Amino acid sequence: MNDSLARHLDWFASLSPQTLDDIDAVYAESATFRDPFQALHGRAAIKALYARMFQRLQAPRFVIGTVVAQGEQAFVSWDFSFVLLGRTQQIHGGTLLTLAADGRIAAHRDYWDAAEGVYEKLPLIGALLRVIKRRMA
């Protein structure tokens, strides 16, 4: 793993409202971000996403797992925990990162199961999804 990637992963692991302003050293100005819910373009939009995360969730935290890096790309597994409506939640996922020539993140693509991470926790939809999941197993 190169030094830039290691610094970026340390930033994610210690991400807080106080460290959010360090985003300029992590993401390229024209970076892209994609997850199961949105596609963003530009560092300002990505910073706004993280800022909303801190406004809407209590104690959000990323724990970095396995890192597989080759050249300018890396795949990183992670666990994201947070408190929402008084209940601790956890989402397991992975991220494909592509670094720019200057070492900052040019592309960030998150992979995680939105059904397991979000929808199954909703009262009515969640129950239906859990039934469907059991029948398909």
pLDDT digits (tens, 9 = 90+) for 66-84: 999 999 999 999 999 988 7
Domains of the chain with bracketed CATH: 3-112 (3.10.450.50)
Beta bridge partners of 108: 33, 97
DSSP symbols for 84-115: ETTEEEEEEEEEEEEE-TTSSEEEEEEEE-HH
pTM over 0.85: no
Tens-digit pLDDT profile for residues 77-107: 999 998 877 888 888 999 999 999 999 999 9
Alpha carbons 77 and 55: distance in angstroms, whole number: 24
Quickly count: other Cβ atoms within 10 Å of residue 110's Cβ.
19
- φ/ψ (deg, to 5) at 89: -125, 155
124 by DSSP, 3-state: which? helix
As a whole number, the mean pLDDT across the chain is 88
